[in-house]
Amino acid sequence: MDRLEELVNQWIWRQDFWLPPGVTWKDIAEGTVDGGRHPVPHDLLISLPLALGFIALRFVFERVVALPLSQRLGVRDRVRVRLTPVPKLEAFYLQKKQQPSQSDLLVLEKHCGLSQRQIQTWLRHRRNQDRPGNTRKFCEASWRFVFYLIVFSAGLVSLISTPWFWDHRECWRGYPRQAVAEAQYWYYIVELSFYLSLLLCVSVDIKRKDFKEQIIHHIATIFLIAFSYCANYVRVGTLVMLVHDSSDFLLESAKMFNYAGWRKTCDALFVVFAAVFLVTRLVVFPCRIVYTAVVDSLDVFPPYSGYYFLNGLLLVLQALHIFWAWLILRMVHKFVFLGKVERDERSDEESEAEEEEDEGGEEEHSWEQKKGALNSKLASLANNCVLNNLTNQRRKMNSRMPKAR
């Protein structure tokens, strides 16, 4: 056992990677002279069982709290078309779950005895059956809203009285001998456990339009939290988490009211969310937090591998912020010129392919209505033309007949 621990300390908790040159784990431990806690890497291991606990708590919350709340707020799921079972089409759908190619349509047409149009319509309705309903989306958004609101409030209370909350240069004063308060320790552990639970549930959660970006965000956040704790960059790490939590609960609340059909409330929350997001992610985060991590830290230690690793993760998050800000500004443009938020460009809708399929069904229904109206008009015009021709011919015949004397 001692040999295993020695190997772990030698290859995983290497001081030359986690800590600046000349700094050891003993130097960090000396920061607890005032009665605080000092970061130890194996403290993070508790986040694994806590992540599983978050998954279990979410399961209970969505069924005991979120589901009854969705019913009280009037959340309604869209009625799906009942399909006639076609075993061969069902087998094709379960195997591919994507738009069929022209060759696929020809093969299915021969085996099923249906036209290509009927096959495409059946597959579209089948895909729509697997799309999550508003109730499921509401329950997921409710869980995240409650977590982000609680953790942001607790984080703000624990940090607002600290000197580095107001002056970011204080993040490096006395480094590495900086004690970690108990509240800040649990702030770290809870955040890390929550993002681990999100990563574990990614295969069963609703896949949204920014699915890949969300995966990158979760992984970068987990590495950033773990590394900043081990290297005792806790002061910078708490500010990063607080900035992110400040707008996330507003986004989830806007989603909840969107699914419930409360358009005015949703639009008002979206405006507040957009303002907070753009200020915190495009101004506060790069100009204060990233700046102090890149520039102010050089007054304390020279660049080393961990310095580049930490700032690289911060820049990855900033790139994601710019991407999401662009989506949000598109929504702001729609809100200003159309007067409402049609949909959440950031992550409210599923993939664009599914979105186009749903719109295709609506367009097909609208086209069928227009086609029927057009046919009736053409039939009416044809009847009028026939009647006019008969009337003209009768008049010509009457004019040619000799008048009786």
> Is residue 161 predicted with pLDDT exceeding 50?
yes
Least confident piece of the model among 141-150, 157-166, 345-354: 345-354
Residue 348 is predicted with a pLDDT of 44
Q: 298 or 348: whose pLDDT is higher?
A: 298
Q: Say if CB 127 and CB 357 are below 8 A apart.
A: yes
Nearest to 354 by CA among 98, 91, 96, 79: 98
What average pLDDT score do residues 238-263 get? 92
Distance (Å, whole) CA 184 – CA 53: 20
Question: Phi, psi at residue 130, to the nearest 5°?
Answer: -85, -10
> Is residue 201 predicted with pLDDT exceeding 60?
yes
What average pLDDT score do residues 150-170 get? 93
Residue 277 is predicted with a pLDDT of 94
Distance (Å, whole) CA 384 – CA 30: 99
Least confident piece of the model among 50-54, 113-117, 149-153: 113-117
pLDDT tens digits for range 22-48: 777 777 776 555 556 778 778 888 999
Residue 193 is predicted with a pLDDT of 95
pLDDT tens digits for range 340-362: 555 555 444 444 444 444 444 44
CB-count burial class (<10 Å; 0-12, 13-18, 19+) for 344: buried
> Is residue 256 predicted with pLDDT exceeding 50?
yes
Residue 67 is predicted with a pLDDT of 92
Least confident piece of the model among 124-133, 198-207, 254-263, 321-330: 124-133
| Tokens 């049609």 sit on residue | 342
Residue 230 is predicted with a pLDDT of 85
Q: What is the mean pLDDT of the chain?
A: 79
Distance (Å, whole) CA 123 – CA 357: 10
Q: 131 or 189: whose pLDDT is higher?
A: 189
Distance (Å, whole) CA 139 – CA 132: 11
Question: pLDDT above 90 covers what percent of the chain?
Answer: 35
Residue 302 is predicted with a pLDDT of 87
Residue 345 is predicted with a pLDDT of 52
What average pLDDT score do residues 42-61 get? 92
Predicted model pTM: 0.74
Distances in whole angstroms, Cα of residue 72 to Cα of each of 65, 69, 100, 260: 11, 5, 41, 9
Q: Say if CB 39 and CB 234 are below 8 A apart.
A: yes
What average pLDDT score do residues 255-262 get? 90
Distance (Å, whole) CA 344 – CA 348: 5
**β-bridge partners, 180:** 37
What average pLDDT score do residues 267-289 get? 93
* Confidence band of 280 (pLDDT split at 50, 70, 90): very high
**β-bridge partners, 37:** 180
Q: 222 or 106: whose pLDDT is higher?
A: 222
pLDDT tens digits for range 224-250: 999 899 888 999 999 999 999 999 999
Residue 197 is predicted with a pLDDT of 93
Q: 377 or 129: whose pLDDT is higher?
A: 129
